[in-house]
Structures are given as structure tokens and as C-alpha cells.
Amino acid sequence: MKILAINDDGVYAPGLWAVVEALQDVAEVVVVAPDREQSGVGTAITLSRPIRATEVVPLVDGIKTYAVEGTPADSAILALESLVEGPVDLVVSGINQGSNMGNDVFISGTMGAALQGFFRGIPTIAISVAALKNLHFAPAARVARLLAQGVADGKLVPPLLLNINLPNVPLEKIKGVSLTHLGQRTYMDVVKEGDDGRRKYYWITRERPGWVLEKGLDIWAVRRRRISITPIHTDLTSNTISREIRGLTRDIRQAFRP
């Protein structure tokens, strides 16, 4: 069995190596990750120039490791289409420093990389710890290891994309595990305006978000010190077709009547 470990925090981020360490005796692990931090670049891919990948020194002995001069999604594509020999059985994206809950999945580089695995029919997990400093990686690494074992035992089969978030607490403080839905933020990023002495600038700033704290949502689980596991699919089609949309569609149909 072969596992691709990837992230958006850069090839030497501690979370990546915490998960590699936990996975190395379950399967052969190959690391392909951006050469620098790329949080928030989402699903971006580089089409305007060629990309270089350099084999670099691993932080865990014997792990083939590449640093990619590109985005997390670039790294995943390079890994799965070219760098890694033979089929990949599991893609693990993380362990990310910072939560990826609710609408974050649309801007998360961790998810951007994970999606490339999912799109190729490979079981994929994105895994994040909800803190930016003094991170406890051990519980997340253990979850990744258990899931990797599930894939090895044939219990987890594609299509499979799991978005996992953990509270930043040590193992003994984890209160449980919840299967969750994506949460909703109550407001978005803000813009701070400034002046560098020559020109005005705008700085997009991530405010501490407000959340809807309904039971069963990812944020609900993490706030209760539970591990949140959200199964993700990529059919964004809405089930609700309002009367207004029906009316508009009728008007458009009318306009195109021959």
C-alpha cells in the first residue's frame, strides 16, 4: 500500500511529519508538498509556467520527499500524475495548522490538495487541528493512522473524501467523535485599509469568525472537544429551486424560443 502525504503549510511543517511518522509502518509514504506555506490558496493550479519539484531531505528517515514550487493542488497533481510510481491507495492532506470548517473548505489549500486525490478516485482525507500555535498533533495522527488501516483492510473504499477537524487538546482530553455536517460562518473576512507612504493598500484579514453553533455541525463538535469527521462530496447542485428561479428560468426560456 502507498500513501501520498501532502499539505498546504509547506514541506517542513511539523503537522505533515507528525502524520508521516504515524503512517510509516502502515504503508509506504511519499511526501510531495509545496516548498513554502500556501494556506488559503484553495484549489488554485499553476498553468502559466512550468513547475519544478526537488527531492529534499526528509524529516523522517527513509521517506521519499519532494518540495514543489507551486500550490498544494499542483503538488497533488504532480505527485499523482508523475512523481509517485505506481498507484496511490490513500491521500492524506495535513495535518493542517488551523481548522478547516464550514466555508473554509472552499479556500483551504489543504482541501485544494485533497480534492485532487478525490477527483482521481483515491480515498482521501484532509485533517486539521483547530489552533495556530502550540499544536497537539498526536490525536490527529492517530485518527489518520486508524483510517489508513481501514483503507489497508479494504473497509474504506472510494469515493471517499473526509474532512476531519480536531480540537487542540491532548489525547486524554478528547471527548468523542462525531460524524458532522459542514458548518456556516456568520461573517466573512474583512479588509484593512492602509497607506505605505506611496499608495493606498488593502489587506484581507481573517477575523475570528462567528459560527452557527447548531448540533451536528463541525464547529459544534470541535467546540465540545470532539473529533469532527465530515464526509464531503462535490455535487454542489442545490436541492432547493425557488419560485423566483423557476420564474426567471421561464423568462429565459421564452427569450430563446425560436
Q: Residues in the site for Mn ion, rule: CB under 5 A?
A: 8-9, 39, 96
> Whole-number minimum distance, CB 25 to Mn ion, in Å?
26
Nearer to Mn ion, 26 or 95 (CB): 95
The nearest distance, CB 94 to Mn ion, in angstroms, is: 8
Give the CA distances from residue 80 to residues 64, 132, 171, 225, in Å, rounded to whole numbers and listed in that order: 14, 29, 33, 34
Closest to Mn ion by CB, 108 or 178: 108
When the beta carbons of 173 and 206 are compared against Mn ion, the nearer one is 206
**C-alpha cell of 32?**
510531495
CB of 150 to Mn ion, least distance (A): 25
Is the link from the previous residue into 107 a cis peptide, with omega within 30 of 0?
A: no
Residue 9 vs 89, nearer CB to Mn ion = 9
CB of 126 to Mn ion, least distance (A): 10
CA gap 146, 100 in Å, rounded: 20
Task: Say whether 250 sits in a helix, a strand or coil.
Answer: helix
Report the residue count for the chain. 258
- Report in angstroms how near the CB of residue 97 gets to Mn ion at its nearest: 6
Question: Within 13 Å and on the Cβ side, how many CA atoms surround 242?
Answer: 3
With beta carbons less than 8 A apart as the criterion, state whether 91 and 4 touch: yes
Cβ proximity to Mn ion, 39 vs 163, nearer residue: 39
C-beta atoms surrounding 212 within 10 Å: 12
